[in-house]
Amino acid sequence: MRTYLVTGGAGFIGSNYIHYMFRKYGDQIRIINVDKLTYAGNLENLKDVENRDNYTFIRADICDGDAIAKIFAENDIDRVVHFAAESHVDRSIYEPELFVKTNVLGTATMLNCAKKAWENPDGTFKEGKKFLHVSTDEVYGSLTEDPTTFFYETTPYAPHSPYSASKASSDLLVKAYMDTYKFPANITNCSNNYGPYQFPEKLIPLVINNALHGKELPVYGDGKNIRDWLFVEDHAKGIDMVQEQGRLFETYNIGGHNERQNIQIIKTILKTLKELLPDEDPRKKNISEDLITYVTDRKGHDRRYAIAPDKIKKEVGWYPETNFEDGIKKTVKWYLENQEWMDHCISGDYQKYYKDMYENR
Ligand code: NAD
Ligand code: DAU
Protein backbone atom coordinates (compact mmCIF):
# COMPACT_ATOMS: atom_id res chain seq x y z
CA MET A 1 0.00 0.00 0.00
CA ARG A 2 1.41 3.42 -1.02
CA THR A 3 1.64 6.01 1.72
CA TYR A 4 1.16 9.67 0.83
CA LEU A 5 2.31 12.63 2.87
CA VAL A 6 0.11 15.51 1.77
CA THR A 7 0.98 18.99 3.08
CA GLY A 8 -1.70 21.67 3.22
CA GLY A 9 -4.45 19.08 2.80
CA ALA A 10 -6.92 21.15 4.84
CA GLY A 11 -6.83 23.96 2.27
CA PHE A 12 -8.81 24.38 -0.92
CA ILE A 13 -6.88 22.29 -3.46
CA GLY A 14 -5.34 19.91 -0.92
CA SER A 15 -8.74 18.86 0.45
CA ASN A 16 -10.16 18.40 -3.05
CA TYR A 17 -7.08 16.31 -3.90
CA ILE A 18 -7.58 14.10 -0.83
CA HIS A 19 -11.24 13.52 -1.77
CA TYR A 20 -10.21 12.75 -5.34
CA MET A 21 -7.54 10.27 -4.25
CA PHE A 22 -9.88 8.35 -1.94
CA ARG A 23 -12.54 8.26 -4.66
CA LYS A 24 -9.96 6.91 -7.08
CA TYR A 25 -7.91 4.53 -4.93
CA GLY A 26 -10.21 3.78 -1.95
CA ASP A 27 -8.41 1.55 0.55
CA GLN A 28 -5.42 0.95 -1.71
CA ILE A 29 -3.58 4.02 -0.40
CA ARG A 30 -2.91 5.67 2.93
CA ILE A 31 -2.87 9.46 3.32
CA ILE A 32 -1.21 11.46 6.08
CA ASN A 33 -2.32 15.08 5.92
CA VAL A 34 0.03 17.57 7.57
CA ASP A 35 -1.38 21.04 7.99
CA LYS A 36 -0.72 23.93 10.34
CA LEU A 37 -4.38 25.04 10.11
CA THR A 38 -3.78 28.70 9.36
CA TYR A 39 -6.83 30.83 8.60
CA ALA A 40 -6.97 28.97 5.23
CA GLY A 41 -6.91 25.47 6.69
CA ASN A 42 -10.31 24.03 7.55
CA LEU A 43 -10.90 20.51 8.83
CA GLU A 44 -14.57 20.85 7.89
CA ASN A 45 -13.37 20.31 4.30
CA LEU A 46 -12.39 16.78 5.28
CA LYS A 47 -15.21 15.62 7.50
CA ASP A 48 -16.25 13.02 4.89
CA VAL A 49 -12.88 11.26 5.16
CA GLU A 50 -11.81 11.87 8.76
CA ASN A 51 -13.04 8.48 10.03
CA ARG A 52 -11.30 6.40 7.39
CA ASP A 53 -8.72 3.93 8.74
CA ASN A 54 -6.34 4.91 5.93
CA TYR A 55 -6.42 8.66 6.71
CA THR A 56 -4.47 10.50 9.42
CA PHE A 57 -4.37 14.20 10.20
CA ILE A 58 -1.33 15.72 11.90
CA ARG A 59 -1.27 19.37 12.87
CA ALA A 60 2.25 20.62 12.18
CA ASP A 61 4.11 23.50 10.58
CA ILE A 62 6.14 22.63 7.47
CA CYS A 63 8.86 24.97 8.78
CA ASP A 64 9.27 22.77 11.87
CA GLY A 65 12.04 20.39 10.80
CA ASP A 66 11.78 18.20 13.93
CA ALA A 67 8.04 17.65 13.49
CA ILE A 68 8.40 16.81 9.79
CA ALA A 69 11.42 14.54 10.36
CA LYS A 70 9.43 12.66 13.02
CA ILE A 71 6.61 11.99 10.52
CA PHE A 72 9.13 10.56 8.05
CA ALA A 73 10.81 8.50 10.80
CA GLU A 74 7.54 6.99 11.96
CA ASN A 75 6.06 6.29 8.52
CA ASP A 76 7.44 4.77 5.35
CA ILE A 77 6.38 7.62 3.06
CA ASP A 78 6.27 6.79 -0.67
CA ARG A 79 4.86 10.02 -2.06
CA VAL A 80 4.97 13.61 -0.93
CA VAL A 81 2.46 15.98 -2.48
CA HIS A 82 3.36 19.45 -1.28
CA PHE A 83 0.49 21.95 -1.35
CA ALA A 84 1.09 23.85 1.91
CA ALA A 85 1.71 27.52 1.24
CA GLU A 86 0.47 31.00 1.86
CA SER A 87 -1.58 31.36 -1.32
CA HIS A 88 -3.26 34.76 -1.53
CA VAL A 89 -1.60 37.49 -3.62
CA ASP A 90 -3.33 40.38 -1.81
CA ARG A 91 -2.12 39.17 1.58
CA SER A 92 1.42 38.80 0.22
CA ILE A 93 1.47 42.50 -0.66
CA TYR A 94 0.92 43.37 3.01
CA GLU A 95 2.86 40.54 4.68
CA PRO A 96 5.68 39.39 2.35
CA GLU A 97 7.91 37.88 5.08
CA LEU A 98 5.30 35.30 6.01
CA PHE A 99 5.24 34.17 2.38
CA VAL A 100 9.02 33.81 2.32
CA LYS A 101 8.94 31.84 5.54
CA THR A 102 6.17 29.40 4.65
CA ASN A 103 6.70 29.06 0.94
CA VAL A 104 10.49 29.13 0.76
CA LEU A 105 11.72 27.88 4.15
CA GLY A 106 8.79 25.48 4.46
CA THR A 107 9.59 23.93 1.08
CA ALA A 108 13.28 23.74 2.00
CA THR A 109 12.33 21.87 5.18
CA MET A 110 10.11 19.45 3.29
CA LEU A 111 12.85 18.76 0.74
CA ASN A 112 15.49 18.30 3.39
CA CYS A 113 13.42 15.90 5.48
CA ALA A 114 12.36 13.85 2.43
CA LYS A 115 15.95 13.69 1.20
CA LYS A 116 17.25 12.46 4.56
CA ALA A 117 14.53 9.84 4.85
CA TRP A 118 14.82 8.56 1.29
CA GLU A 119 18.57 8.72 0.65
CA ASN A 120 20.68 5.55 0.49
CA PRO A 121 24.23 5.59 1.96
CA ASP A 122 25.65 5.91 -1.58
CA GLY A 123 23.63 9.07 -2.30
CA THR A 124 21.04 7.38 -4.53
CA PHE A 125 17.40 7.30 -3.47
CA LYS A 126 15.22 4.40 -2.37
CA GLU A 127 13.27 2.89 -5.25
CA GLY A 128 9.90 4.41 -6.07
CA LYS A 129 9.95 7.46 -3.79
CA LYS A 130 8.55 10.64 -5.33
CA PHE A 131 8.02 14.27 -4.30
CA LEU A 132 5.59 16.52 -6.17
CA HIS A 133 5.78 20.26 -5.63
CA VAL A 134 2.51 22.03 -6.41
CA SER A 135 3.19 25.44 -7.92
CA THR A 136 1.57 28.18 -9.91
CA ASP A 137 1.60 29.78 -13.35
CA GLU A 138 2.21 33.12 -11.62
CA VAL A 139 5.96 32.34 -11.54
CA TYR A 140 6.04 33.16 -15.26
CA GLY A 141 4.90 36.75 -14.70
CA SER A 142 2.32 38.36 -16.94
CA LEU A 143 1.30 37.94 -20.59
CA THR A 144 -0.02 40.70 -22.82
CA GLU A 145 -3.52 40.42 -24.24
CA ASP A 146 -2.16 38.87 -27.46
CA PRO A 147 -4.23 35.63 -27.46
CA THR A 148 -1.56 33.70 -29.36
CA THR A 149 0.88 33.90 -26.42
CA PHE A 150 0.99 31.31 -23.62
CA PHE A 151 3.11 30.15 -20.71
CA TYR A 152 5.18 27.07 -21.56
CA GLU A 153 7.45 25.05 -19.27
CA THR A 154 10.35 26.85 -20.98
CA THR A 155 9.02 30.36 -20.32
CA PRO A 156 11.55 32.24 -18.15
CA TYR A 157 10.51 32.96 -14.57
CA ALA A 158 9.48 36.60 -14.01
CA PRO A 159 7.36 36.75 -10.85
CA HIS A 160 5.93 40.11 -9.77
CA SER A 161 4.14 39.72 -6.45
CA PRO A 162 5.74 38.63 -3.18
CA TYR A 163 3.52 35.53 -3.44
CA SER A 164 4.72 34.55 -6.92
CA ALA A 165 8.32 35.43 -6.06
CA SER A 166 8.15 33.11 -3.04
CA LYS A 167 6.63 30.33 -5.16
CA ALA A 168 9.29 30.87 -7.84
CA SER A 169 11.97 30.59 -5.14
CA SER A 170 10.43 27.36 -3.87
CA ASP A 171 10.35 25.95 -7.43
CA LEU A 172 14.03 26.82 -7.85
CA LEU A 173 14.86 24.99 -4.63
CA VAL A 174 13.11 21.88 -5.91
CA LYS A 175 15.00 22.21 -9.21
CA ALA A 176 18.26 22.58 -7.25
CA TYR A 177 17.55 19.36 -5.33
CA MET A 178 16.81 17.54 -8.59
CA ASP A 179 19.94 18.90 -10.29
CA THR A 180 22.31 18.51 -7.35
CA TYR A 181 21.18 15.28 -5.70
CA LYS A 182 19.02 13.69 -8.43
CA PHE A 183 16.26 14.02 -5.85
CA PRO A 184 13.15 12.28 -7.32
CA ALA A 185 10.68 15.09 -7.87
CA ASN A 186 8.30 16.84 -10.22
CA ILE A 187 6.94 20.37 -10.31
CA THR A 188 3.50 21.29 -11.59
CA ASN A 189 2.61 24.90 -12.42
CA CYS A 190 -1.14 25.34 -12.54
CA SER A 191 -3.50 28.15 -13.50
CA ASN A 192 -6.37 29.53 -11.37
CA ASN A 193 -8.49 26.84 -9.74
CA TYR A 194 -12.17 27.12 -8.84
CA GLY A 195 -14.58 24.73 -7.13
CA PRO A 196 -15.83 23.64 -3.68
CA TYR A 197 -14.03 24.55 -0.43
CA GLN A 198 -12.25 27.68 -1.72
CA PHE A 199 -11.73 30.31 0.97
CA PRO A 200 -13.84 33.42 0.24
CA GLU A 201 -10.88 35.79 -0.06
CA LYS A 202 -10.48 34.52 -3.66
CA LEU A 203 -12.52 36.07 -6.47
CA ILE A 204 -15.12 33.35 -7.19
CA PRO A 205 -16.29 32.42 -3.67
CA LEU A 206 -16.03 36.08 -2.58
CA VAL A 207 -18.36 37.16 -5.38
CA ILE A 208 -20.83 34.34 -4.67
CA ASN A 209 -20.94 35.18 -0.98
CA ASN A 210 -21.17 38.96 -1.44
CA ALA A 211 -23.90 38.66 -4.09
CA LEU A 212 -26.00 36.43 -1.81
CA HIS A 213 -25.73 39.08 0.92
CA GLY A 214 -26.41 42.00 -1.47
CA LYS A 215 -22.89 43.34 -0.84
CA GLU A 216 -20.74 45.21 -3.36
CA LEU A 217 -18.69 43.07 -5.75
CA PRO A 218 -15.22 44.65 -5.77
CA VAL A 219 -13.59 44.62 -9.22
CA TYR A 220 -9.92 45.55 -9.26
CA GLY A 221 -8.88 48.06 -11.96
CA ASP A 222 -10.83 47.84 -15.21
CA GLY A 223 -11.97 44.23 -14.62
CA LYS A 224 -10.31 43.11 -17.83
CA ASN A 225 -7.44 41.14 -16.32
CA ILE A 226 -7.51 37.61 -17.65
CA ARG A 227 -7.13 34.36 -15.74
CA ASP A 228 -7.18 30.80 -17.10
CA TRP A 229 -9.70 28.93 -14.92
CA LEU A 230 -9.50 25.21 -14.16
CA PHE A 231 -11.98 23.10 -12.18
CA VAL A 232 -10.16 21.93 -9.05
CA GLU A 233 -10.90 18.21 -9.59
CA ASP A 234 -9.15 18.39 -12.95
CA HIS A 235 -6.11 19.81 -11.16
CA ALA A 236 -6.20 16.98 -8.60
CA LYS A 237 -6.35 14.44 -11.41
CA GLY A 238 -3.46 16.13 -13.21
CA ILE A 239 -1.27 16.00 -10.11
CA ASP A 240 -1.89 12.29 -9.67
CA MET A 241 -1.27 11.59 -13.37
CA VAL A 242 2.00 13.54 -13.36
CA GLN A 243 3.20 11.73 -10.27
CA GLU A 244 2.36 8.27 -11.63
CA GLN A 245 2.86 8.70 -15.38
CA GLY A 246 5.08 11.75 -15.82
CA ARG A 247 8.83 11.66 -16.28
CA LEU A 248 10.75 12.30 -13.05
CA PHE A 249 12.64 15.62 -12.80
CA GLU A 250 10.22 17.27 -15.25
CA THR A 251 7.96 20.28 -14.86
CA TYR A 252 4.41 20.11 -16.22
CA ASN A 253 2.10 23.07 -16.73
CA ILE A 254 -1.57 22.40 -15.93
CA GLY A 255 -4.24 24.71 -17.34
CA GLY A 256 -7.79 24.78 -18.55
CA HIS A 257 -7.52 26.59 -21.91
CA ASN A 258 -10.27 28.65 -20.39
CA GLU A 259 -9.38 32.32 -20.39
CA ARG A 260 -11.88 34.81 -19.04
CA GLN A 261 -11.80 38.45 -18.00
CA ASN A 262 -12.63 38.96 -14.33
CA ILE A 263 -15.72 40.98 -15.23
CA GLN A 264 -16.99 38.08 -17.38
CA ILE A 265 -16.51 35.72 -14.43
CA ILE A 266 -18.50 38.00 -12.16
CA LYS A 267 -21.37 38.36 -14.64
CA THR A 268 -21.45 34.58 -15.19
CA ILE A 269 -21.70 34.01 -11.43
CA LEU A 270 -24.61 36.47 -11.16
CA LYS A 271 -26.41 34.77 -14.05
CA THR A 272 -25.82 31.31 -12.56
CA LEU A 273 -27.06 32.40 -9.13
CA LYS A 274 -30.25 33.74 -10.70
CA GLU A 275 -30.78 30.47 -12.55
CA LEU A 276 -30.19 28.26 -9.53
CA LEU A 277 -31.96 30.19 -6.77
CA PRO A 278 -35.70 29.44 -6.52
CA ASP A 279 -37.96 32.50 -6.87
CA GLU A 280 -39.11 32.24 -3.25
CA ASP A 281 -35.53 32.46 -1.91
CA PRO A 282 -35.25 35.97 -0.39
CA ARG A 283 -31.58 36.19 -1.46
CA LYS A 284 -32.58 36.18 -5.12
CA LYS A 285 -33.73 39.81 -5.00
CA ASN A 286 -30.15 40.83 -4.06
CA ILE A 287 -28.62 39.43 -7.21
CA SER A 288 -27.94 42.26 -9.63
CA GLU A 289 -25.17 43.69 -11.79
CA ASP A 290 -25.71 46.94 -9.84
CA LEU A 291 -23.58 45.37 -7.11
CA ILE A 292 -20.50 45.50 -9.37
CA THR A 293 -18.14 48.16 -7.96
CA TYR A 294 -14.85 49.14 -9.55
CA VAL A 295 -12.20 49.67 -6.87
CA THR A 296 -8.49 50.61 -6.74
CA ASP A 297 -6.40 48.10 -8.62
CA ARG A 298 -4.21 45.48 -6.93
CA LYS A 299 -0.60 46.74 -6.80
CA GLY A 300 1.47 45.15 -9.57
CA HIS A 301 -1.65 43.37 -10.92
CA ASP A 302 -0.63 40.84 -13.59
CA ARG A 303 -2.67 41.40 -16.75
CA ARG A 304 -3.07 37.95 -18.21
CA TYR A 305 -2.22 34.33 -17.42
CA ALA A 306 -2.70 31.51 -19.94
CA ILE A 307 -1.20 28.06 -19.83
CA ALA A 308 -0.37 25.92 -22.83
CA PRO A 309 -0.97 22.42 -21.42
CA ASP A 310 0.59 20.71 -24.47
CA LYS A 311 3.32 18.82 -22.63
CA ILE A 312 1.06 17.25 -19.99
CA LYS A 313 -1.42 16.30 -22.72
CA LYS A 314 1.21 14.71 -24.94
CA GLU A 315 3.30 12.95 -22.29
CA VAL A 316 0.76 12.12 -19.61
CA GLY A 317 -2.55 12.12 -21.47
CA TRP A 318 -4.15 14.71 -19.16
CA TYR A 319 -6.64 17.27 -20.44
CA PRO A 320 -9.17 19.55 -18.69
CA GLU A 321 -12.37 17.48 -18.59
CA THR A 322 -14.78 19.96 -17.03
CA ASN A 323 -15.94 22.75 -19.29
CA PHE A 324 -16.37 26.09 -17.57
CA GLU A 325 -20.16 26.26 -17.94
CA ASP A 326 -20.60 22.93 -16.11
CA GLY A 327 -17.84 23.66 -13.61
CA ILE A 328 -19.16 27.05 -12.55
CA LYS A 329 -22.69 25.66 -12.22
CA LYS A 330 -21.42 22.83 -9.99
CA THR A 331 -19.41 25.35 -7.99
CA VAL A 332 -22.23 27.85 -7.42
CA LYS A 333 -24.57 24.97 -6.53
CA TRP A 334 -22.03 23.67 -3.99
CA TYR A 335 -21.80 27.06 -2.25
CA LEU A 336 -25.59 27.36 -2.18
CA GLU A 337 -25.87 23.92 -0.59
CA ASN A 338 -23.07 24.58 1.88
CA GLN A 339 -24.06 27.93 3.35
CA GLU A 340 -23.06 26.70 6.81
CA TRP A 341 -19.51 26.03 5.59
CA MET A 342 -19.36 29.59 4.25
CA ASP A 343 -20.86 31.03 7.46
CA HIS A 344 -18.08 29.40 9.47
CA CYS A 345 -15.42 30.81 7.10
CA ILE A 346 -16.71 34.36 7.30
CA SER A 347 -17.16 34.49 11.04
CA GLY A 348 -14.34 35.78 13.26
CA ASP A 349 -11.13 36.97 11.64
CA TYR A 350 -12.60 37.17 8.14
CA GLN A 351 -14.55 40.33 9.05
CA LYS A 352 -11.35 42.12 10.06
CA TYR A 353 -9.52 40.90 6.95
CA TYR A 354 -12.35 42.14 4.72
CA LYS A 355 -12.46 45.56 6.42
CA ASP A 356 -8.67 46.02 6.20
CA MET A 357 -8.49 44.89 2.57
CA TYR A 358 -11.53 46.62 1.08
CA GLU A 359 -12.66 49.53 3.30
CA ASN A 360 -10.61 52.32 1.71
CA ARG A 361 -10.20 50.85 -1.72
P1 NAD B 1 -5.03 27.46 0.53
O2 NAD B 1 -4.57 28.79 1.04
O3 NAD B 1 -6.47 27.22 0.36
O4 NAD B 1 -4.47 26.30 1.47
C5 NAD B 1 -3.18 26.30 1.99
C6 NAD B 1 -3.11 25.26 3.10
O7 NAD B 1 -1.76 25.23 3.59
C8 NAD B 1 -4.02 25.57 4.29
O9 NAD B 1 -4.67 24.41 4.71
C10 NAD B 1 -3.04 26.06 5.37
O11 NAD B 1 -3.47 25.78 6.69
C12 NAD B 1 -1.79 25.26 5.01
N13 NAD B 1 -0.57 25.89 5.49
C14 NAD B 1 -0.20 27.19 5.33
N15 NAD B 1 0.98 27.40 5.95
C16 NAD B 1 1.38 26.22 6.47
C17 NAD B 1 2.51 25.79 7.21
N18 NAD B 1 3.49 26.65 7.55
N19 NAD B 1 2.61 24.50 7.57
C20 NAD B 1 1.62 23.61 7.25
N21 NAD B 1 0.52 23.96 6.58
C22 NAD B 1 0.39 25.25 6.20
O23 NAD B 1 -4.24 27.25 -0.83
P24 NAD B 1 -4.71 26.52 -2.18
O25 NAD B 1 -5.41 27.50 -3.03
O26 NAD B 1 -5.34 25.24 -1.82
O27 NAD B 1 -3.28 26.27 -2.85
C28 NAD B 1 -2.55 25.07 -2.55
C29 NAD B 1 -1.24 25.10 -3.33
O30 NAD B 1 -1.52 25.19 -4.72
C31 NAD B 1 -0.35 26.28 -3.00
O32 NAD B 1 0.98 25.83 -2.99
C33 NAD B 1 -0.58 27.27 -4.16
O34 NAD B 1 0.57 28.04 -4.39
C35 NAD B 1 -0.83 26.29 -5.29
N36 NAD B 1 -1.70 26.80 -6.38
C37 NAD B 1 -2.91 27.34 -6.11
C38 NAD B 1 -3.74 27.72 -7.17
C39 NAD B 1 -5.12 28.30 -6.94
O40 NAD B 1 -5.77 28.73 -7.88
N41 NAD B 1 -5.62 28.32 -5.72
C42 NAD B 1 -3.31 27.57 -8.50
C43 NAD B 1 -2.03 27.03 -8.72
C44 NAD B 1 -1.25 26.62 -7.66
O1 DAU C 1 -2.83 31.65 -11.23
C2 DAU C 1 -2.77 30.80 -10.13
C3 DAU C 1 -3.03 31.60 -8.87
O4 DAU C 1 -4.41 31.91 -8.85
C5 DAU C 1 -2.62 30.86 -7.60
O6 DAU C 1 -1.25 30.63 -7.60
C7 DAU C 1 -3.01 31.66 -6.35
O8 DAU C 1 -2.73 30.92 -5.18
C9 DAU C 1 -4.50 31.94 -6.42
O10 DAU C 1 -4.88 32.76 -5.32
C11 DAU C 1 -4.86 32.65 -7.73
O12 DAU C 1 -4.29 33.98 -7.76
P13 DAU C 1 -5.12 35.24 -8.34
O14 DAU C 1 -4.55 36.46 -7.77
O15 DAU C 1 -5.25 35.15 -9.81
O16 DAU C 1 -6.58 34.90 -7.70
P17 DAU C 1 -7.68 35.85 -7.00
O18 DAU C 1 -8.90 35.00 -6.83
O19 DAU C 1 -7.15 36.56 -5.81
O20 DAU C 1 -7.99 36.92 -8.13
C21 DAU C 1 -8.43 36.55 -9.41
C22 DAU C 1 -8.53 37.83 -10.24
O23 DAU C 1 -9.62 38.63 -9.73
C24 DAU C 1 -7.31 38.71 -10.18
O25 DAU C 1 -7.09 39.32 -11.44
C26 DAU C 1 -7.66 39.77 -9.13
C27 DAU C 1 -9.16 39.92 -9.30
N28 DAU C 1 -9.92 40.25 -8.05
C29 DAU C 1 -9.73 39.49 -6.96
C30 DAU C 1 -10.42 39.75 -5.78
C31 DAU C 1 -10.19 38.93 -4.54
C32 DAU C 1 -10.87 41.28 -8.07
O33 DAU C 1 -11.06 41.95 -9.11
N34 DAU C 1 -11.55 41.53 -6.92
C35 DAU C 1 -11.36 40.82 -5.76
O36 DAU C 1 -12.01 41.14 -4.73
| The predicted structure's pLDDT at residue 14 | 98
Ligand 2 atom with the smallest distance to the CA of 167 is 6
- Residue 256 reports pLDDT greater than 90: no
Residue nearest to atom 14 of ligand 2 (CA): 89
Q: Is 229 in the pocket of ligand 2 (CB under 6 A)?
A: no
Report the CATH number of the 2-356 domain: 3.40.50.720
Buried b (16+ CB within 10 A) or exposed e, 153-169: bebeeebbbbbbbbbbb
- Residue 188 reports pLDDT greater than 90: yes
pLDDT digits (tens, 9 = 90+) for 112-134: 999 999 999 999 999 999 999 99
Q: Can you tell me the mean pLDDT for 181-196?
A: 98
**Marked catalytic residue, from 61, 86, 137, 259:** 137
17, 6 contact by CB (below 8 A) = yes
Residue nearest to atom 11 of ligand 2 (CA): 192
The rounded Å distance from CA 119 to ligand 2 centre is 38
With 0-12 / 13-18 / 19 or more C-beta atoms within 10 angstroms meaning exposed / middle / buried, residue 323 is exposed
pLDDT digits (tens, 9 = 90+) for 322-337: 999 999 999 999 999 9
pLDDT digits (tens, 9 = 90+) for 223-238: 999 999 999 999 999 9
Q: Domains of the chain: which residue ranges?
A: 2-356
| The predicted structure's pLDDT at residue 78 | 98
Q: Can you tell me the mean pLDDT for 342-347?
A: 93
Q: Is 304 in the pocket of ligand 2 (CB under 6 A)?
A: no
Percent helix, strand, coil in the chain (nearest 5)? 45, 15, 35
The rounded Å distance from CA 202 to ligand 2 centre is 6
**Marked catalytic residue, from 86, 138, 234, 259:** 138
| The predicted structure's pLDDT at residue 93 | 97
| The predicted structure's pLDDT at residue 109 | 98
pLDDT digits (tens, 9 = 90+) for 1-51: 999 999 999 999 999 999 999 999 999 999 999 999 999 999 999 999 999
Nearest to 235, CA basis, from 36, 84, 20: 20
The rounded Å distance from CA 324 to ligand 1 centre is 23
The model carries a pTM of 0.98
